[in-house]
Chain A
Amino acid sequence: MYRSLSIDPDKCTGCLQCEMACSYEYEGVFNPAHSRIKVFTFHQEGRFVPYTCTQCADAWCQHACPVDAIRVDAETGAKEIKENLCVGCKVCTIACPFGTVNYNHDRGKVLKCDLCGGDPACARACPTQAITYVDGDWAGYEKMRAWAARTDNATHA
Chain B
Amino acid sequence: MGWQKKILRVNLTEGTCISEPLDMGWANEYLGQRGLATKYLVEEVDPKVDPLSPENKLIFATGPLTGTPASTGARYSVITKGALTGAIACSNSGGYFGAELKFAGWDMIIFEGCAEKPVYLYINDDQAELLPADDLWGKSVWETDEILHRVHQDPQLRISAIGRAGEKGVLYACIVNDLHRAAGRSGVGAVMGSKNLKAVAVRGTKGVRVADPERFLKVVAEKKQVLAENAVTGQGLPAYGTQVLMNVINELGALPTRNARDVQFEGASRISGEAMHEPRGSEQKPNLVTNQACFGCTIACGRISRIDKGHYTVVNRPEYWGASGGLEYENAWSLGADCGVEDLDALTWANFVCNEQGLDPISFGATLAAAMELYETGVITDEDTGGIALKFGSAEALTSMVQQVANGEGFGRELALGSRRLCEKYGHPELSMTVKGQEFPAYDPRGIQGMGLTYATSNRGACHLRSYTVSSEVLGIPEKTDPLVTDGKPALVKAFQDVTATVDASGLCLFSTFAWSLEDIQPQIDAACEGDWSLDRLLEMGERIWNLERQFNIAAGFTGKDDRLPKRLVSEPVKSGPAKGLVNQLDKMLPEYYQLRGWDEGGVPREETLERLGL
A13 — which chain B residues lie within 8 A by C-beta? 238, 290-293, 297, 300
In the complex, what distance in Å separates the CA atom of A127 from the CA atom of B324? Answer: 23
Instruction: Verify A17–B69 contact, CB threshold 8 A.
Output: yes
The number of inter-chain residue pairs (CB within 8 angstroms) is: 84
**14 other contacts beyond A24-B213, A29-B206, with CB at 8 A cut-off?**
A13-B290, A14-B292, A15-B295, A17-B298, A29-B207, A29-B209, A30-B67, A30-B207, A30-B208, A43-B323, A46-B306, A46-B323, A48-B292, A127-B224
Which of B209, B228, B238, B323 is A30 in contact with, Cβ under 8 Å?
B209
Contact bitstring B192-216, A, C-beta under 8 A = 1, else 0: 0000000000001111111001000
In the complex, what distance in Å separates the CA atom of A17 from the CA atom of B74? Answer: 11
> Is the CB of B415 closer than 8 A to any CB of chain A?
no
A128 — which chain B residues lie within 8 A by C-beta? 300
**Cβ distance B1 to chain A, nearest Cβ, rounded Å:** 10
**Cβ distance A34 to chain B, nearest Cβ, rounded Å:** 7
Which of A14, A24, A33 is B205 in contact with, Cβ under 8 Å?
A33
Which of B103, B228, B238, B300 is A33 in contact with, Cβ under 8 Å?
B103
Sample 19 A-B pairs with CB under 8 A, ordered by A number.
A13-B291, A13-B292, A15-B294, A15-B297, A28-B209, A30-B69, A30-B207, A30-B209, A31-B205, A32-B103, A33-B156, A34-B205, A34-B207, A43-B324, A46-B304, A47-B290, A125-B69, A127-B71, A127-B228
Which residues of B come within 8 Å of A, CB atoms? 67-69, 71, 96, 103, 156, 179, 204-210, 213, 217, 224, 228, 238, 289-298, 300, 304, 306, 322-324
B67 — which chain A residues lie within 8 A by C-beta? 30
Instruction: Verify A31–B323 contact, CB threshold 8 A.
Output: no
Which of B96, B156, B293, B296 is A20 in contact with, Cβ under 8 Å?
B296
B306 — which chain A residues lie within 8 A by C-beta? 46
> Is the CB of A155 closer than 8 A to any CB of chain B?
no
Main secondary structure of the interface of B (DSSP, over half): loop
Instruction: Verify B204–A44 contact, CB threshold 8 A.
Output: no
In the complex, what distance in Å separates the CA atom of A16 from the CA atom of B67? Answer: 10
Instruction: Verify A44–B69 contact, CB threshold 8 A.
Output: no
Contact A15:B296 (CB < 8 A) given known A29-B207, A29-B208, A29-B209:
yes
**Cβ distance B202 to chain A, nearest Cβ, rounded Å:** 12
Instruction: Verify B293–A30 contact, CB threshold 8 A.
Output: no
A17 — which chain B residues lie within 8 A by C-beta? 69, 296, 298
Q: How large is the interface on A (under 10, 10 to 19, 20 to 34, 35 or more residues)?
A: 20 to 34
In the complex, what distance in Å separates the CA atom of A104 from the CA atom of B373? Answer: 61
B228 — which chain A residues lie within 8 A by C-beta? 127
B69 — which chain A residues lie within 8 A by C-beta? 17, 20-21, 24, 30, 125
In the complex, what distance in Å separates the CA atom of A22 from the CA atom of B298? Answer: 17
B103 — which chain A residues lie within 8 A by C-beta? 31-33
In the complex, what distance in Å separates the CA atom of A16 from the CA atom of B437? Answer: 38
**Cβ distance A50 to chain B, nearest Cβ, rounded Å:** 13
> Is the CB of A45 closer than 8 A to any CB of chain B?
yes
> Is the CB of A23 closer than 8 A to any CB of chain B?
yes
A24 — which chain B residues lie within 8 A by C-beta? 69, 213, 217
In the complex, what distance in Å separates the CA atom of A17 from the CA atom of B67? Answer: 10
Instruction: Verify A127–B298 contact, CB threshold 8 A.
Output: yes
B208 — which chain A residues lie within 8 A by C-beta? 29-31
In the complex, what distance in Å separates the CA atom of A119 from the CA atom of B263? Answer: 54
In the complex, what distance in Å separates the CA atom of A23 from the CA atom of B67? Answer: 12
In the complex, what distance in Å separates the CA atom of A21 from the CA atom of B216? Answer: 13
Which of B205, B290, B296, B304 is A16 in contact with, Cβ under 8 Å?
B296
A16 — which chain B residues lie within 8 A by C-beta? 96, 295-296
**Cβ distance A105 to chain B, nearest Cβ, rounded Å:** 9
The 4 closest A-B CB pairs, nearest first, are: A31-B207, A44-B322, A46-B323, A15-B293
Instruction: Verify B209–A46 contact, CB threshold 8 A.
Output: no
**Cβ distance B560 to chain A, nearest Cβ, rounded Å:** 43
Which of A28, A30, A46 is B290 in contact with, Cβ under 8 Å?
A46
Instruction: Verify B296–A43 contact, CB threshold 8 A.
Output: no
**Cβ distance B53 to chain A, nearest Cβ, rounded Å:** 37
B68 — which chain A residues lie within 8 A by C-beta? 20, 30
In the complex, what distance in Å separates the CA atom of A136 from the CA atom of B177? Answer: 40
Which of A21, A31, A43 is B179 in contact with, Cβ under 8 Å?
A43
**Cβ distance A136 to chain B, nearest Cβ, rounded Å:** 26
A33 — which chain B residues lie within 8 A by C-beta? 103, 156, 204-207
In the complex, what distance in Å separates the CA atom of A136 from the CA atom of B341? Answer: 53
Contact A15:B205 (CB < 8 A) given known A31-B103, A32-B103:
no
Closest A residue to B217 using CB positions: A24
In the complex, what distance in Å separates the CA atom of A17 from the CA atom of B323? Answer: 23
In the complex, what distance in Å separates the CA atom of A32 from the CA atom of B306? Answer: 29
Contact A28:B294 (CB < 8 A) given known A13-B300, A33-B204:
no
**Cβ distance B384 to chain A, nearest Cβ, rounded Å:** 39
In the complex, what distance in Å separates the CA atom of A43 from the CA atom of B193? Answer: 27
Contact A15:B323 (CB < 8 A) given known A29-B208, A30-B207, A31-B208:
no
In the complex, what distance in Å separates the CA atom of A32 from the CA atom of B204? Answer: 9
A23 — which chain B residues lie within 8 A by C-beta? 207
Closest B residue to A31 using CB positions: B207
B217 — which chain A residues lie within 8 A by C-beta? 24
Closest B residue to A23 using CB positions: B207
**Cβ distance B502 to chain A, nearest Cβ, rounded Å:** 22
